[in-house]
Chains A and B, each alone.
Chain A
Amino acid sequence: QQQVRQSPQSLTVWEGETAILNCSYEDSTFNYFPWYQQFPGEGPALLISISSVSDKKEDGRFTIFFNKREKKLSLHITDSQPGDSATYFCAATITGNTRKLIFGLGTTLQVQP
């Protein structure tokens, strides 16, 4: 049973458009949500993250919108660039002794020039 779900599985947008990647979760104890970006042949790299006490986090062209009541997040990439073509993972974790990140299956984004 997947605790973190992502949609769509793949997404293609044109350069300059806004890409919207969705994430939902089940466990209400999750309180921290990092998004990772992964290029082929590389390890995931932290892109942006949000705590459950916030409903929005912005970093340049990347914005996370968080709806705690609905247990949903979305990552908006504005002015998409071909260099943004990658797989994006939504992850979640909870406060405690573990630092376990629970990942979704990812969304593969293709930005067409």
Chain B
Amino acid sequence: DPKIIQKPKYLVAVTGSEKILICEQYLGHNAMYWYRQSAKKPLEFMFSYSYQKLMDNQTASSRFQPQSSKKNHLDLQITALKPDDSATYFCASSQESWGSNQDTQYFGPGTRLLVL
């Protein structure tokens, strides 16, 4: 059974619209993340949450808003979509051992977003 579920797998949106990317993890982890993978760019860190609290935000735009309704959920709301937002968005999670940066981050299968 998949341990990190991302929905939908594929998403096509029109410029200016709003979409929510869903992420659920069943690993019992306390930390969750969002990364973005665009063509010809490295996997890019966006957000990290620990115990449902925002720890780090590396996105320059407020159009990207993470939402954590439950400990094992971290959704990503994207508003006013632009073609440049087209990318694969990966959710990840880790155990979150206190003071350690060496917890393995486990990645989900990703949501491929295409903005027309």
Q: What is the interface of chain A, defined by CB distance below 8 A to chain B? A: 2, 4, 31-32, 34, 36, 41-46, 49, 51, 89, 91, 93-106
Contacts and interface: CB of A to CB of B under 8 A. Distances in A.
Contacts of A93: 101
Interface string B89-112: 010101010010111111111100
B101 A44 contact: no
Contact of B33 (A36, A42, A99, A104): A99
Q: How large is the interface on B (under 10, 10 to 19, 20 to 34, 35 or more residues)?
A: 20 to 34
Interface stretch (B14-22, B41-49, B64-72, B79-87): B41-49
11 contacts: A34-B105, A36-B107, A42-B109, A93-B101, A94-B101, A99-B50, A99-B96, A99-B103, A100-B48, A103-B43, A105-B41
Contact of B105 (A2, A4, A101, A104): A101
Interface of A is mostly: loop
B63 to A, nearest CB: 20
B101 A31 contact: yes
A99 B31 contact: yes
A99 B103 CA distance: 9
A12 B99 CA distance: 40
Closest 6 CB pairs of A and B: A43-B107, A103-B43, A98-B56, A100-B45, A103-B42, A44-B107
Given A102-B45, A103-B42, A105-B42, A97 B56 contact: yes
A46 B55 contact: no
Contacts of B40: 105
A19 to B, nearest CB: 21
B62 interface: no
B61 interface: no
Contacts of B110: 42-43
